[in-house]
Chain A
Amino acid sequence: MVIPARLSMLNRKLLRDLYVMKAQALAIAMVVAAGVSMYVMYLSNFASLQSTRAAYYAQHRFADVFATMKRAPQRVAVEIASLPGVTAIETRVVASVTLDLDQLDEPASGRLISIPADRRPSVNDLFLRRGRWIEPGRRDEALVSEGFALAHGLGPGDRVPAVINGRLRDLRIVGVALSPEFVYSIQPGELVPDDKRFGLFWMDRQALGAAFDMEGGFNDVVLRLAPGSAPDEVIARLDRILEPYGGLGAIPRALQLSHWTVENELNQLQSFGFMLPLIFLMVAAFILNVALTRALALQRPQIAALKALGYGNLAIGWHYLKWGLVIGAGGVVIGVIAGAWLGNLIIGLYNQFFRFPELRFTVPLSVVVGASMMTLGAAAGGAFSAVRRAVRVPPAEAMRPEPPANYRRSMFETRWLSRRLGAAGRMVLRNVTRHPLRASASVFGIGFAVSILMIGFVFADAIERLIDTQFWVAERQDVTVAFVEPRSDAARHALARLPGVVAVEPQRTVAARIRSRHRERYLGITGVDPEPRFKRLVDRNGRALRMPGSGVVLSKMLGDVLGVRPGDSVTLEVLEGTRPVRQVMVGGLVDDILGLSVYMDRGALHHLMREGDIASGALLLIDPAREAALARALKVLPIVSGAAFKRAVLESFRNTMAANMNLSIFINLVFASVIAFGVVYNAARVSLSERSRELASLRVLGFTRGEISLILLGELTLLTVAALPVGAVLGYGLALAIIQTVQSEVYRFPLYISRQAIAWSWLGVIGAAMISALLVRRKLDTLDLIAVLKVRE
């Protein structure tokens, strides 16, 4: 090793000592690095997303309040603009259409959003990636969303056929754009964004007005508020203004789907960014403590000599504390580099889900500083007690070898066990129980590795469970069809005559506001058949529930949001038709997976709406062999605004989740291996160092290498085996904590831990433990039998 000439003697000693224990130091530094890289990965992503979003929102004037209605006359815009706190408004025409794309069998959905042709919107301006803005008077020109454009290879000059208000028309693409309103865009009813089947099109206000009977009116308005003004006040007034025009309830930015999703992701990044690295650093601090305690025990004579030479306690203490700090600093360097690399991979995933003009990954200095402070704090904390113990010994005492280790029979040694344990077994058991704290910390450290690994598998299981519950138990239809407008029973017969349709179940969903005292949510009331064929009430564990005879059933999450329980009453304000308002009783809660739902008996819903057998959509059971023919027929059916084929939805969901899950399981596997390896390797090295004399004596007495390996590895095996169940419990707790953290009004993961998840994580950790054990085992072969007997340690 080359050492710079200007270093002080103590620092040279530090470097050489660390070089001697390099493998152990590296193992500890790797555990530190794992924690640091998680911290850097999560918090840099957090910072990158947050700053990108803030700049995007500001530059493109993202709205603060969003409202939709059936149709409001243009003059209402003046009234809205004059509300106190409103600084800008943009009225729009928004409509959903079916797209008829040659490459896709099943119909894709498009959302058409109006933009002024002669100027940029004053609220929710677009970012134009390619092409040009639409020109006034060219009614077929459209800007297409980037995701859809990329998925279909569309660009300026291409045409997309769309069924607009019952007529097939070509949209002529002149540009590719992004909007702050649709950083995350998802079709209602889907689980993940699907750029192939859902696209956004921005078109001339006049053109859309004419196509959807909105000339001189609008059905959507977005507002910007003055900084510091309360959206609640504006929303209340806006709702009153829009009520006569079929207002569907205004929402603040916080509840806007795209914003909410990004915000939710940011919150998760932030909480995981602290929680997980902290556990890693705790484990690192612990193994550092064990390693240093041992290393310093071997340094006793040197400490005595330094003291005799006149070095003070402080200087010696600082010298040894630096061992910990140097290892920690090494971990920070590796961790920041690894974290930046992993963070870049994760940002790549975000770029699939979130559409920003540019989402670039940066590692802010504050994150590096934060990681360094946390790590050095943990390293100093881990080193402190070991250093203090070593330095405190008076020099004369330090000159003498450490007193022999004091052992006693362990409390686990019953008469029965004693008879079955050989000498080797007793040695293992007594070594472990002699340092109960150290042993249990090792067990927890290895157990933590098990739990980290388990999380990945548990979430893969959760996804499968979610698919199973949602797609096979709760919704057993093959195709979900949405109508442009609610239709009479005739529509059902029309659908039943389409090719491949085996059975039809009409579906009625009504937009409503649900209220309990001051808490409220906007959502859809779903009518459920008393004897449903396809759509059933199912909780997140896959159990089907029956509709109670009266009242409504709420998602459990909605019950929590509103603070109501079965037996309480809630106010339903329907936002369609005659807009009836009713007090209804909560008949039950269902712990379901997706969204916030209100379920009502379908007959009761029709009665509430004072309507006959009206459907807003239908669920179809089909003959899979004729799926393509059905898709072609649905694409051009004017009453249909969208159709989701379960096969296609599942395929896209699986593809997206698979990419995600594989990456996160891979990352977890790496981290879990690092921590399992770090803990086991360190435990093995320390016990090898403590026992090398003992083991050499046994070799001299005629024990074979295999036999003494058993004693050393037996201890590691015992610790690892004890850690497996502990890890399963920790993993369960961690999974529960994470599921609680990520559960939201949009989705709730079922917690289900399969035997396979436990088995795979156990195998992973056993593998890492075996590798580290084998590395240490190799050291046993080079044990110097003679030297170890001559000198007393």
Chain B
Amino acid sequence: MATPLFVIRDLAKVYGMGEVEVHALRNISLTLNEGEFVVLLGPSGSGKSTLLNIIGGLDVPTSGQVFYRDTELTRADEADLTSYRRRHVGFVFQFYNLIPSLTAAENVALVTEISDSPMTPDAALALVNLDPRAGHFPAQLSGGEQQRVAIARAIAKRPAVLLCDEPTGALDISTGIVVLEALAQVNRELGTTTVVITHNAAIAQMADTVIRLADGRVTAVEVNTSRKLSPQELSW
């Protein structure tokens, strides 16, 4: 029996854009289980990023509830959310967001320095096969390498959940596959719940669960009962 990691009830988010109201999320209810590889699929403006940001403690909903294990995130204040992100969440962004003035290992150490029981930066980099590039600065790394550093940085604290917003969005296919492999490997070896936003439907084939969103609503939740494909097997 799968253990729920996130329980989401009637979640809604309304942005006031000048005089128009934009409903980014309309009463979503979902459960995400521990250890799952979840893919959020949907077109631009479907609410994927808003959902991810709320789960990650970067944004607060207009109404509804989000529970992380026994904690209600929707009741947490600013400081609680910061500490939640610090202890439990790993983020991977489309544009890597590495600190250009720190080397790969130092970017990872940035997180291990403030975590309770992290892995060593070298171990984290080894997990994404980047240990030989540990001493390089971001400007000396390719896009795929930078994204793998970002993944190493996200998982080094052993987070409960890894949230990835379009992690391959800025990469070409072959580099994208290497990055997805790194994510799959982390999910497999560490059992980290992984949520990946994409509008590339092919990636759905490597997921345990695929959640489709459109216009702020969940249109389908597909549980993959057959074998998950490895990234090389994906047909783009």
A contacts, CB < 8 Å to B: 403-408, 422-423, 426-427, 430-431, 434, 693-694, 697-705, 707, 785-786, 789-790, 792
A701 near B102 with CB under 8 A, answer: no
Q: How far is the CA of A693 from the CA of B95 in the complex (A)?
A: 11
Contacts A434-B101, A701-B85, A702-B86 supplied; 14 other A-B pairs, CB < 8 Å: A406-B100, A406-B137, A407-B101, A422-B113, A423-B110, A426-B102, A698-B99, A700-B58, A700-B85, A701-B111, A702-B82, A702-B89, A703-B82, A703-B114
B100 near A423 with CB under 8 A, answer: no
Report the minimum CB–CB distance from A665 to chain B (whole Å).
41
Report the minimum CB–CB distance from B109 to chain A (whole Å).
6
Considering the complex, give the chain A residue whose CB is closest to the CB of B98. A697
Known contacts being A423-B106, A423-B109, is A702 close to B87, with CB within 8 Å? yes
Partner of A404 from B91, B139, B153, B165 at Cβ < 8 Å: B139
Residues on B with beta carbons closer than 8 Å to the beta carbon of A407: 100-102, 137-139
A423 near B165 with CB under 8 A, answer: no
Q: How far is the CA of A112 from the CA of B89 in the complex (A)?
A: 94
Closest 7 CB pairs of A and B: A702-B86, A697-B97, A430-B101, A702-B85, A423-B110, A405-B100, A407-B101
A431 near B110 with CB under 8 A, answer: no
B contacts, CB < 8 Å to A: 49, 53, 56, 58-59, 79, 82-87, 89, 91, 93-95, 97-102, 106, 109-111, 113-114, 137-139, 153, 165
Q: How far is the CA of A531 from the CA of B95 in the complex (A)?
A: 86
Residues on B with beta carbons closer than 8 Å to the beta carbon of A694: 97, 99-100
A-B contact pairs, 26 of them (CB 8 A): A403-B139, A405-B100, A407-B100, A423-B102, A423-B109, A423-B113, A426-B101, A426-B102, A434-B101, A694-B99, A697-B97, A697-B98, A698-B110, A700-B58, A700-B91, A701-B86, A701-B153, A702-B83, A702-B84, A702-B85, A703-B82, A703-B86, A705-B82, A786-B58, A789-B97, A790-B94
Residues on B with beta carbons closer than 8 Å to the beta carbon of A701: 85-86, 91, 110-111, 153
Considering the complex, give the chain A residue whose CB is closest to the CB of B59. A786
Residues on A with beta carbons closer than 8 Å to the beta carbon of B114: 702-703, 707
B139 near A697 with CB under 8 A, answer: no
Residues on A with beta carbons closer than 8 Å to the beta carbon of B59: 786
Q: How far is the CA of A404 from the CA of B86 in the complex (A)?
A: 26
Q: How far is the CA of A701 from the CA of B154 in the complex (A)?
A: 8
Q: How far is the CA of A407 from the CA of B83 in the complex (A)?
A: 30
Residues on A with beta carbons closer than 8 Å to the beta carbon of B139: 403-407
Q: How far is the CA of A698 from the CA of B91 in the complex (A)?
A: 11
Known contacts being A422-B113, A423-B113, A704-B82, is A789 close to B93, with CB within 8 Å? yes
A404 near B138 with CB under 8 A, answer: yes
Residues on B with beta carbons closer than 8 Å to the beta carbon of A423: 99, 102, 106, 109-110, 113
Q: How far is the CA of A789 from the CA of B59 in the complex (A)?
A: 13
A697 near B99 with CB under 8 A, answer: yes
Q: How far is the CA of A786 from the CA of B48 in the complex (A)?
A: 13
Known contacts being A404-B100, A406-B139, A426-B106, is A699 close to B82, with CB within 8 Å? yes
Residues on B with beta carbons closer than 8 Å to the beta carbon of A698: 99, 110
Considering the complex, give the chain A residue whose CB is closest to the CB of B140. A406
Residues on B with beta carbons closer than 8 Å to the beta carbon of A704: 79, 82
Report the minimum CB–CB distance from B231 to chain A (whole Å).
24
B91 near A427 with CB under 8 A, answer: no
Q: How far is the CA of A405 from the CA of B98 in the complex (A)?
A: 11
Considering the complex, give the chain A residue whose CB is closest to the CB of B163. A700
Known contacts being A702-B82, A702-B83, A703-B86, is A785 close to B101, with CB within 8 Å? no
Report the minimum CB–CB distance from A752 to chain B (whole Å).
44
Report the minimum CB–CB distance from B8 to chain A (whole Å).
18
Q: How far is the CA of A39 from the CA of B76 in the complex (A)?
A: 57
Q: How far is the CA of A366 from the CA of B173 in the complex (A)?
A: 69
Residues on A with beta carbons closer than 8 Å to the beta carbon of B153: 701
Considering the complex, give the chain A residue whose CB is closest to the CB of B107. A423
Known contacts being A406-B139, A702-B85, A702-B87, is A789 close to B102, with CB within 8 Å? no
Q: How far is the CA of A574 from the CA of B116 in the complex (A)?
A: 92
Q: How far is the CA of A406 from the CA of B100 in the complex (A)?
A: 7
Partner of B101 from A431, A699, A789 at Cβ < 8 Å: A431
Report the minimum CB–CB distance from A165 to chain B (whole Å).
87
Report the minimum CB–CB distance from B121 to chain A (whole Å).
10
Residues on A with beta carbons closer than 8 Å to the beta carbon of B95: 789, 792
A427 near B111 with CB under 8 A, answer: no
Considering the complex, give the chain B residue whose CB is closest to the CB of A781. B78
Partner of B137 from A408, A700, A707 at Cβ < 8 Å: A408
Q: How far is the CA of A404 from the CA of B97 in the complex (A)?
A: 11
Report the minimum CB–CB distance from A702 to chain B (whole Å).
3
Report the minimum CB–CB distance from A318 to chain B (whole Å).
33
Q: How far is the CA of A408 from the CA of B139 in the complex (A)?
A: 10
Q: How far is the CA of A190 from the CA of B179 in the complex (A)?
A: 86
Q: How far is the CA of A625 from the CA of B116 in the complex (A)?
A: 78
Considering the complex, give the chain A residue whose CB is closest to the CB of B83. A702
Q: How far is the CA of A424 from the CA of B179 in the complex (A)?
A: 27
Residues on A with beta carbons closer than 8 Å to the beta carbon of B97: 693-694, 697, 700, 789
Partner of B99 from A427, A699, A700, A790 at Cβ < 8 Å: A427
Q: How far is the CA of A704 from the CA of B102 in the complex (A)?
A: 19
Considering the complex, give the chain B residue whose CB is closest to the CB of A409. B103
Report the minimum CB–CB distance from B120 to chain A (whole Å).
14
Residues on A with beta carbons closer than 8 Å to the beta carbon of B99: 423, 427, 694, 697-698
Considering the complex, give the chain B residue whose CB is closest to the CB of A403. B139
Q: How far is the CA of A212 from the CA of B74 in the complex (A)?
A: 103
Residues on A with beta carbons closer than 8 Å to the beta carbon of B56: 700
Q: How far is the CA of A697 from the CA of B99 in the complex (A)?
A: 8
Report the minimum CB–CB distance from B100 to chain A (whole Å).
4
Q: How far is the CA of A699 from the CA of B91 in the complex (A)?
A: 11
Most buried by B among A431, A701, A707: A701
Q: How far is the CA of A700 from the CA of B84 in the complex (A)?
A: 10
Q: How far is the CA of A647 from the CA of B11 in the complex (A)?
A: 84
Known contacts being A423-B102, A702-B87, A704-B79, is A786 close to B109, with CB within 8 Å? no
Residues on B with beta carbons closer than 8 Å to the beta carbon of A707: 114
Considering the complex, give the chain A residue whose CB is closest to the CB of B138. A404
Known contacts being A699-B82, A701-B86, A789-B165, is A427 close to B101, with CB within 8 Å? yes
Considering the complex, give the chain B residue whose CB is closest to the CB of A711. B99
Residues on A with beta carbons closer than 8 Å to the beta carbon of B138: 404, 407
Most buried by A among B79, B94, B110: B110
Residues on B with beta carbons closer than 8 Å to the beta carbon of A408: 137
Considering the complex, give the chain B residue whose CB is closest to the CB of A699. B82
Report the minimum CB–CB distance from A695 to chain B (whole Å).
9
Considering the complex, give the chain A residue whose CB is closest to the CB of B89. A702
Q: How far is the CA of A792 from the CA of B49 in the complex (A)?
A: 16
Q: How far is the CA of A705 from the CA of B86 in the complex (A)?
A: 12
